Amino acid sequence: MQTDLKLNISGHVLIRDVKTSEILVDKHNEINAETMSMVVAELLKGSSGNYIYEMHFGGGGTVIDETDNITYKDVAENLELGTIAGLYDPLFYKVISSDDLVNNDDETRNNVTINHADGLPYTDIVVTCTLEENQPESAVAAYEPGELRFDEIGLKSKGADGLDTGYLLTHIVFNPVEKDVGRVIQVVYTLRISL
């Protein structure tokens, strides 16, 4: 007897201001089918080196015209590029792997956890990333340390050649979020894996 199982991965992103509890973004995201299938296959094979490792922030997901109308770039079209897909305008990233105590600046506030309840045909991977008051630490383009304006986020796998060399696994664009000095922003990126 042959059993065909269909693996489904869906994503949801919640971005909030930690101090005020204001919800800044609450929406679903797109999955890069090619790179995600490669990571799942590597994990089932038993390879431990390829997994969700970094959260990347970018500033090229939207176009705002002179009358403040916002046009969102096509994430699905970008992800069709597969292994060469990337954020439109990468600005900053953080290591969220709890296994990397050198590059993860606080594994209690930047981590990947698994939530599962017995009897349910799905499991959630919850990726939490916190931009602290003075992060990013180095200036990005026209921004001072601790400031950032971003409108796209993606999760990347761990790359064989070090930091920022993995595959883009997910991508989402949204209304621009201002990260000012003193503001603490937390991103909770949930991937639901179901059969």
Tell whether 126 is covered by a domain: yes
Number of domains in the chain: 1
Phi and psi angles of residue 97, each rounded to the nearest 5 degrees, phi first:
-75, 125
Domain range spanning residue 57?
A: 8-194
Position 160 confidence tier, pLDDT thresholds 50, 70, 90: confident
Tell whether 2 is covered by a domain: no
Tell whether 157 is covered by a domain: yes
Tell whether 3 is covered by a domain: no
Please name which of 45, 16, 50 lies closest in space to residue 169, comparing C-alpha atoms.
Answer: 50
Tell whether 26 is covered by a domain: yes
Q: How many CB atoms lie within 10 A of CB 173?
A: 26
Structure tokens, 25: 């973004």
Unique residue bearing structure tokens 């590597």 = 42
Tell whether 188 is covered by a domain: yes
Tell whether 156 is covered by a domain: yes
pLDDT digit string, tens, across residues 104-138: 999 999 999 999 999 999 999 999 999 999 898 86
Work out the mean pLDDT of the chain and round it to a whole number. Answer: 91
Is the distance from CB of 127 to CB of 55 less than 8 angstroms? yes
139 has a pLDDT exceeding 90? no
Tell whether 184 is covered by a domain: yes
